[in-house]
Structure 1
Amino acid sequence: MTLLNILNLTHPIVQAPMAGATTPELAATVSNFGGLGSLGSGMTTPKVLNSEIDSIKSLTDRPFMINLMVLSEHESNTLDSAVPNWLSQYYQENNIEIELPKQPALSFAEQLQVLYDNPVPVVSFTFGIINAEQVQRLQSLGTRVIGTANHPLEAKAWSNIGADAVCVQGVEAGGHRGGWLAQSANDPLGLLTLIAQTRACTDVPLIAAGGIMTGQAIKAVQTAGAELAQIGTAFLTTDKSGINDSYKQALLDASEGKRSAETRLTRLFSGKQARALLNDYLRDFAQFESAHELPPYPQLNAMTKLLRAHATKNLDAEHQSLWAGQGVALVRQERTIKLLERLVKES
């Protein structure tokens, strides 16, 4: 049985679950079209998550996906690193008062409980791996479970605990890398290499992610051994996207040659590798990129939240985390439904 059948999809398109950029309306639009719409919920409180699930269920009767970030209680609760001097100095120079939260991230266990109490058709996980009992509990509720991998060993680990599929995320992908093993950070694999190496060690169904912007690219990853294509950056400049106008304009400017379309893998925003459009923040603090004293994720993420919020409020794209994949030069300002129709037509 193919993944298309298992997930009850008409088209092999998964809209990437980009936390902070996805909305119930975006997810429902993709699902109603016959793809798999999704909501990035790793930074969403349990109460809001429950409400957003209900909202999607009211907008579509088709399958959709919720994505959570796997963090231990220790990681979610611990904020014991000092704010880096360069960041502290930036805050002083811009008259931004440093107010850190009591804990750097929400409780993963509490978010997961929402999915037990209000089951969804599909759930995916990133930044770590859950256990076999949790997989089985979700599946017993009728939920399909998808893991995220940047390395074949991560995909194999998900396969071993009974995941229904694995999203293999190549180095081309925008936003945070979803893996957790040191190997995936030390030598990031391109998508086609990752698919081939993963196919060689496990037969778990694969969803391909990273730089996919066209119908031709969907066909290419299917030929390489993936069943579905997960697309993120292309949706960011559509009408149902949840990103702010200055972020959206920066992406469009990159596609129109008004600014560089260069992207970079960076830890400077969150402490975890993520791909973003190059801007002044990444240029100005590049010297600290490899510094061993960078606070880990999610601690640095909590520390830069004030910087990003200040930049967003001031329409300053140069100090926002402009998450984007290497295909950003191909984004268009268009309706979400138009993008979906074009992808299907091209493939």
Structure 2
Amino acid sequence: MSLLDTLQLTHPIVQAPMAGGATTPELIASVSNFGGLGSLGAGMTAPDVLDSQIDTIKTLTDGPFMVNLMVLSEQESSSFDTAMPNWLINYYQEQNIEFTLPTRPAQSFAEQLQVLYDNPVPVASFTFGIISAEQVERLQRVGTRVIGTANHPLEAKAWSEIGADAVCVQGVEAGGHRGGWLPQSETDPLGLLTLISQTRACTDIPLIAAGGIMTGQDIKAVQAAGAELAQIGTAFLTTDKCSINDIYKQALLDASTGKRSSETRLTRLFSDKQARGLLNEYLRDFAPFESADTLPPYPQLNAMTKALRAHAKKNDDAEHQSLWAGQGVAQVRQESTIALLERLVAVG
């Protein structure tokens, strides 16, 4: 059975589960009602809010949808054991930005996962790590299909070995955070077509392709390479149902019209995990501190830079926000979510 049939989709389109509020229930429902797979990026969402959002999505669509969580240990999500970098402290002081660290750097993954056991969803996907075979089986018992994320063929193979239903292979072109966890995925990041090819050589698990996919022709290309579905994020960011702030959205549109550079860069400066976004002043100014061994680990640095990003958003400052975008950002359009979906499937 094809993955399209397994997930009960009409079209081979997965809307990427972008965390941080970009994916609203309305966006997810629009994609799912169209026949694609709408996705909620819930890795930063409190368990009670997640439960409520799932209920809301279920009222807006009868179609399948996906919830994505970030795999973190209790130690990682609950402890600050690294000091805030001096360069970040100095920036806060120079800009008169008040900041207080939260009691914990991230939500409890175990509590988020419990929500999915208690309020089952059609599809659950995972990033930043891998869950256990027992957890995969428990999700499948309540009717949930399980999808892993991989930046390297060995990560895809690991997901296959614990019984996942599919793997999203995320090429280096993709915007936002890279979802892998093995050192190999960082030391020599693979482009999407290479990643698909090498993954196909070591496992036959169904693949979803992500990274730089912006058009119907791109979807056809990754299918020809060996993926069954295409996961698309950046193209949805400038559509009407996406809830990123106006300054972020305008920066993406400006990158598509030449009003600003469309250059993107992989950076650790916002969270310590590699993530691709538009080049801006923050990435330029603090580039000397990019080295992995000088940054607090994820999710600690992510919590430490939260006040910086919030201040930039409040002050309509695109130069100190995390402007996550993939290498296809020059092709974004200001359009309705439905117009984008219709464009993606209009290829003969």
> What TM-score, normalized by structure 2, do the two folds share?
0.99
Tell me the alpha carbon deviations over residues 323-346 of structure 1, each in whole angstroms, 9 at most, x when there is no partner: 000000000000000000000002
1:80 aligns to 2:81 (yes or no): yes
Partner of 1:244: 245
**C-alpha distance in 2, partners of 1:100/1:90?**
15
Tell me the alpha carbon deviations over residues 35-72 of structure 1, each in whole angstroms, 9 at most, x when there is no partner: 00000000000111001000000000000000000000
Give the aligned residue type for 1:262: E
Match of 2:277, SS state, is strand
Give the aligned residue type for 1:12: P
Partner of 2:7: 7
1:290 Cα offset (Å): 1.5
**C-alpha distance in 2, partners of 1:258/1:9?**
38
Give the aligned residue type for 2:324: W
Match of 1:346, SS state, is coil
Give the aligned residue type for 1:233: T
**C-alpha distance in 1, partners of 2:129/2:24?**
23
Tell me the alpha carbon deviations over residues 197-223 of structure 1, each in whole angstroms, 9 at most, x when there is no partner: 000000000000000000000000000
1:187 Cα offset (Å): 0.4
**C-alpha distance in 2, partners of 1:148/1:127?**
8
**C-alpha distance in 2, partners of 1:281/1:265?**
13
Match of 1:155, SS state, is helix
Structure 2 gap ranges (5+): none
Q: CA RMSD in A?
A: 0.6
Give the aligned residue type for 2:237: L
1:37-186 aligned within 5 A: 37-186=38-187
Tell me the alpha carbon deviations over residues 298-335 of structure 1, each in whole angstroms, 9 at most, x when there is no partner: 00000000000000000101000000000000000000
1:117 Cα offset (Å): 0.4
**C-alpha distance in 2, partners of 1:66/1:180?**
19
1:314-329 aligned within 5 A: 314-329=315-330
**C-alpha distance in 2, partners of 1:330/1:85?**
38
1:268 aligns to 2:269 (yes or no): yes
**C-alpha distance in 2, partners of 1:263/1:290?**
18
Match of 1:120, SS state, is coil
1:153-232 aligned within 5 A: 153-232=154-233
Partner of 1:310: 311
Partner of 2:291: 290
1:291 Cα offset (Å): 5.1
1:292 Cα offset (Å): 1.4
Tell me the alpha carbon deviations over residues 273-298 of structure 1, each in whole angstroms, 9 at most, x when there is no partner: 00010000000001111251211100
**C-alpha distance in 1, partners of 2:249/2:297?**
28
Partner of 1:258: 259
1:80 Cα offset (Å): 1.2
**C-alpha distance in 2, partners of 1:291/1:225?**
34
Asked if 1 retains the 8 angstrom alpha-carbon contact of 2:272 and 2:292, the reply is: no
**C-alpha distance in 2, partners of 1:110/1:41?**
12
**C-alpha distance in 2, partners of 1:16/1:148?**
11
1:2 Cα offset (Å): 0.1
Partner of 2:35: 34
**C-alpha distance in 1, partners of 2:129/2:280?**
29
Match of 1:292, SS state, is helix
**C-alpha distance in 2, partners of 1:316/1:8?**
42
Classify 1:202/1:309 alpha carbon distance in 2 versus 1 (closer, same or farther; 3 Å).
Answer: same
**C-alpha distance in 2, partners of 1:346/1:244?**
31
**C-alpha distance in 1, partners of 2:243/2:19?**
9
1:97 Cα offset (Å): 1.9
Asked if 1 retains the 8 angstrom alpha-carbon contact of 2:192 and 2:210, the reply is: yes
Asked if 1 retains the 8 angstrom alpha-carbon contact of 2:268 and 2:292, the reply is: no
**C-alpha distance in 2, partners of 1:309/1:196?**
40
**C-alpha distance in 2, partners of 1:22/1:33?**
16
> What TM-score, normalized by structure 1, do the two folds share?
0.99
**C-alpha distance in 2, partners of 1:182/1:165?**
22
1:98 Cα offset (Å): 2.6
Give the aligned residue type for 2:17: P
Tell me the alpha carbon deviations over residues 156-189 of structure 1, each in whole angstroms, 9 at most, x when there is no partner: 0000000000000000000000000000000000
**C-alpha distance in 2, partners of 1:24/1:17?**
11
**C-alpha distance in 2, partners of 1:83/1:49?**
29
Tell me the alpha carbon deviations over residues 240-277 of structure 1, each in whole angstroms, 9 at most, x when there is no partner: 00100000000000001000000000000001000010
Give the aligned residue type for 1:250: A
Give the aligned residue type for 1:96: I
Match of 2:346, SS state, is helix
Give the aligned residue type for 1:19: A
Give the aligned residue type for 2:14: V
**C-alpha distance in 1, partners of 2:106/2:229?**
31
